[in-house]
Amino acid sequence: MKSVHLNELIVDFCGKALRPGGNLLMKIIQGPAEERLRKGILLGFEDIVRVKPSASRQESKEIYFLCQNYGGTKDELAK
């Protein structure tokens, strides 16, 4: 759960660090909170591609989310 919270903080930080159209690559650990994180990311990004590199061990729970085309959160766009 700590890694999910860290990723949520990173997504929040995108409002300060990313320009519209920007991309974010984040490493996540597969688990029950993955879908909640995905839904939160889609509030600010147009698309998410789930990536598991071929160099990663098959039994590893590590995956990556490639978050594409940042457009800002609904709160930022309302300003």
| Active-site residue flag, 27 | yes
User: Which long-range contacts does 37-44 make (Cβ < 8 Å, 24+ apart)?
Assistant: 37/4, 37/7, 37/8, 37/11, 37/65, 38/65, 40/8, 40/11, 41/11, 41/65, 41/67, 43/73, 43/74, 44/11, 44/14, 44/15, 44/70, 44/71, 44/72, 44/73
- Annotated active-site positions, please? 27
